[in-house]
């Protein structure tokens, strides 16, 4: 098995086991989990920018599968975090592994990031306030950007909505 296939398998294993680990244990190991998952994302981004990127023709495997696996694993870790986890740590994990893919050029990666965020926001137990604040900030920045590219009537409507 290639290194990419091994990473995908390990990320899948992590995603499946995290829900069965205590929140206290997840919180205690957050810095290592966050650094590791962000490093996987960074290595995938570097690999996809190189000419010899390890990618499949249909974009279902390779780097794309690894990124989607990292997004899923990060989602499971964030869901298990205690609410008193420092915002800085939550933001580093969320921004580095999920939010950074909201505008990814690959549809499946982008959709995985969107779905992960919806899953975090729709949790039965309240999600961490850092996640809500990040999404709020992101949405406002997107609205402002869109506001700059619309006509006066649409601008008025956007102003009423914000």
Q: How far is CA 66 from the centre of its chain?
A: 12
pLDDT, tens digit (0-9, with 9 covering 90-100), for 39-91: 999 988 887 765 445 555 544 568 899 999 999 999 999 999 999 999 999 99
pLDDT, tens digit (0-9, with 9 covering 90-100), for 88-123: 999 999 999 999 999 999 999 999 999 999 999 999
pLDDT for position 156? 58
Q: Dihedral sign, CA of 119, 83, 13, 7?
A: positive
pLDDT for position 117? 95
Lowest-confidence range among 29-38, 87-96, 140-149? 140-149
pLDDT for position 140? 86
* CB-CB contact of 48 with 63 (8 Å): yes
CA 52 to each of CA 14, 48, 147, 149: distance values in angstroms, whole numbers, following the listed order: 28, 8, 39, 37
Pick 83 or 3 by higher pLDDT.
83
As a whole number of angstroms, the distance between CA 46 and CA 159 comes to 39
As a whole number of angstroms, the distance between CA 75 and CA 84 comes to 17
pLDDT for position 56? 53
As a whole number of angstroms, the distance between CA 106 and CA 109 comes to 5
As a whole number of angstroms, the distance between CA 100 and CA 104 comes to 8
Pick 24 or 2 by higher pLDDT.
24
pTM: 0.81
pLDDT for position 46? 83
């Amino acid at each position: 098995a290639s290194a990419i296939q091994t990473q995908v398998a390990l990320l899948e294993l992590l995603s499946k086991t995290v829900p069965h680990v205590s929140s206290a244990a997840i919180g205690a190991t957050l810095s290592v989990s966050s650094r590791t998952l962000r490093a996987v994302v960074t290595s995938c981004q570097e690999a996809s920018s190189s000419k010899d990127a390890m990618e499949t023709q249909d974009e279902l495997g390779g780097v794309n599968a690894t990124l989607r696996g990292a997004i899923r694993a990060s989602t499971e870790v964030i869901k298990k975090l205690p609410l008193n986890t420092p915002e800085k740590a939550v933001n580093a994990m969320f921004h580095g592994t999920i939010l950074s893919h909201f505008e990814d050029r690959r549809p499946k990666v982008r959709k995985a990031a969107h779905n992960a965020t919806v899953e975090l926001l729709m949790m039965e137990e309240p999600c961490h306030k850092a996640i809500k604040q990040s999404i709020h900030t992101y949405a406002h920045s997107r609205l402002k950007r869109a506001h700059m590219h619309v006509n006066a009537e649409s601008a008025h409507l956007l102003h009423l909505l914000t």
